[in-house]
Structure 1
Amino acid sequence: IFLLDIADWNNIRWFECMESLSKIVGKQNVHFAIRQHVKGRSMAFNETDPDSKPFSEFGEVLNYEEAKKHGYNMIKVLRYAVRSDLAESIEKVLIDTQQNQRKHSDEKDHNVLPDLVTTSDIPDRVLIDRPGDVVHFFPTTWGKDNMSSLRCAVSRAIQAVGREANLTVFTDFSSFGAGDESGRSEIHDSYPIGLLHYKIVVVAQRDFHEGHFRLMEALIGGALVMTDPMHPLPYMLEDGKSVVVYTSLEDLKAKIRYFLEHEEERLAIAGRGFEVASTHHRTWHFMERLVFGRWSYF
């Protein structure tokens, strides 16, 4: 029997559930996995905080060894997978775009995606023309909860570097979807287009808990993805190789400038990030870890 807790905040009664089921089927036949694996994260930002303020209150990784001491199976850690509905939506946008390009170009037009010629292993999705520079799908102010000050600060930093370096940036989700629960329930038609439009997609987690859908959503879009630190990064993701980790707002702005000026490095990291997301973090990989117990691959 597999029990899963994928909520942002863990259910305080999960251990009671394990105990009750174990009395019926035996401890070794009950497996429990939980998404929350960090406690004490506190990344709240004030508008007066300097951009140089380093991120530091990451919290500590929870130790679930206690359950094993009592004869239960080891508590497993879950991570978010790529949303299949978004992956399919992105594929549809790319296919529709290619078909439209064929209709409006002759056979010698090498801007058509299927005709891209490259000697690299970088996927076509990464090499498409992306007219926008940087996007973070969150506004500069948000009054609906008290858990998004970091996200707002990140958006303000992106707006600032956009003005300083004359970049094309966007920091909102009004054109690409909705916030709160509705944003998790369905994919807005414009969201996959937005992911394919920008060279760099920045993501940030909530102030008080780690993990979100946005990271894998951004990676599957094929842009270079920048994220705040995680404990640890999901399986196979490496800072500077498949994703870029920023450790302060100042660091974020510096890395945005750097990677927009160094296209070859940007594309290589973006390509590797897409590869990791598509070959290790789809929903069927998630199920394989559950069924076959490959828990080191979280």
Structure 2
Amino acid sequence: ETETKKENHRFKMFIVDYHDSGYARFSKCSLMLSSLLGKENIYYATRKTTNGRAIKYSASEKKDETERIGRQGRLIDFKKDYMRHTENHPRALKYGVRSDIVHEINNAKQLILFESNATNNLATDDITLLPRPNDVAHFWNEGADEQNGSFRSEINRVINGLSKNNSLAIQTSILGSRGPFGRNNANFVYVAKMLRMKIVVVCQRDFWEGHYRLMEALASGAMVMTDPMHPLPAYLEDEESLVVYHSMAELKDKIMYYLSHTKDRLKIARLGYEIVMEYHQSAAYMERLIFGNWSTLDGL
């Protein structure tokens, strides 16, 4: 029996959870696994790190744009709620950079360079220095999802209003497909448009955190603005590699600031791109999961 137990302890079990609402059976699953393998060999990585997020906007309701964005929820107490059957601190696991998106980004980049060389003799390996004639994008159709997407629709209204007052070149509609098809098929038109934008704004759903759009935007070389995340994906920091906005007024102010401060914008865009390409593709994710630090939420 002792030898069998020692043999079992050679195995590590990683439970990887990408569900919007978290893995409901984690406690039962981890209890069964820990009895077989030992608590020290159970590892849990999850997208869900908060409870109680509830953000709701109405097109007809008058708003104070200086107010902070809705209810962000609270961080889950993982030590209290999740560590009864594992000795390893659960890890935040955000969506990474999709390889098919990277492939289309490279295709779009080559096309842009080819077109630009014909007129500007441009040649660069720095994706942030591609010609970006458009100012701001938020890829969403207002009213596309009344149940979970009112926040995104409000972002559209804010950017559209900002554009009217400042003559900005914007994109506030979806390119490509939403849902499972969009998540499993990279759209060249969508990707190519991101490479033409100076700033890409993303925001999460009304009731949960996390989406592919953040990493897609960062991988495009645009400067990315996001609503708060708890925590931000590993190695990304506000005002260093992306920009976090906490209210609609702050979103507008920061858009205008970074459009007029090119050096600052490019510095943030470049570091954001470098971080996601080095640390947020599949191979790096697997390496951090298997060999990384399991004593903290962010694994750093």
TM-score (norm 1): 0.88
1:230-245 → structure 2 map (5 Å cutoff): 230-245=229-244
Partner of residue 141, structure 2 = 139
Aligned mates of 1:280, 1:70 — CA distance in 2:
29
Superposed displacement of residue 297, structure 1: 3.8
* Residue identity matched to 2:98: R
Counterpart of 1:198 in structure 2 is 197
Distance 1:71 1:222 in 2: 39
Is 1:77 the counterpart of 2:92? The answer is yes
CA contact (8 A) 2:27 2:85 kept: no
Structure 2 counterpart of 1:12: 24
Aligned-residue offset at 1:99: 4.0
The aligned residue for residue 76 of structure 2 is 62
Alignment of 1:1-298 (within 5 A): 1-47=13-59, 48=61, 49-66=63-80, 67-70=82-85, 72-102=87-117, 104=118, 109-110=120-121, 112-114=122-124, 124-142=126-144, 144-173=145-174, 176-295=175-294, 296-297=298-299
Contact 2:16/2:45 (8 A) holds in 1: yes
Q: Which amino acid aligns with 2:74?
A: E
Moved more, 63-72 or 242-251: 63-72
Q: Distance in 1 between matches of 2:276 and 2:26?
A: 30
Aligned-partner SS, 1:194: helix
Whether contact under 8 Å (2:21, 2:48) holds in the other structure is: yes
Q: Which runs of 5+ in 1 are unaligned?
A: 115-122
Provide the identity percentage.
Answer: 36
Counterpart contact for 2:227–2:244, Cα < 8 Å: yes
Say if 1:113 and 1:124, in contact at 8 Å, map to a contact too. Answer: no
Instruction: State the shift of 1:128 in Å.
Output: 0.9
Check whether the contact 2:209–2:229 (CA below 8 A) recurs between aligned residues: yes
Q: Which moved more, 1:24-33 or 1:261-270?
A: 24-33
Q: Counterpart of 1:172 in structure 2: which amino acid?
A: S
Query: Does the 8 A contact of 1:41 with 1:207 survive in 2?
Result: yes
Contact 2:30 2:86 in 1 (8 A): no
The separation in 2 between residues aligned to 1:253 and 1:68, in whole angstroms, is 42
Q: How many residues are paired up?
A: 282
Shift of 1:50: 3.1
**How far off its partner does 1:77 sit?**
2.1
Structure 1: how far apart are the matches of 2:148 and 2:205? 6
For residues 70 and 277 of structure 1, the distance between their equivalents in structure 2, rounded to whole angstroms, comes to 32
Decide which moves more: 61-70 or 156-165. 61-70
- C-alpha distance in 1, partners of 2:271/2:158? 26
Aligned-pair CA distance for 1:126: 0.4
Q: CA deviation at 1:95?
A: 2.2
Paired letter, 1:164: N
Once superposed, what is the RMSD of the aligned Cα atoms? 1.9
2:195 is paired with a residue whose SS is helix
Q: How far did 1:293 drift?
A: 2.7
Using the alignment, how far apart are the partners of 1:237 and 1:32 within structure 2?
A: 22
Q: Matched residues in 1 for 2:150 and 2:49: separation?
A: 21
Q: How far apart are the structure 2 equivalents of 1:180 and 1:50?
A: 32
**Alpha-carbon contact 2:224-2:269 (below 8 Å) kept:** yes
What displacement does 1:23 show? Answer: 2.6
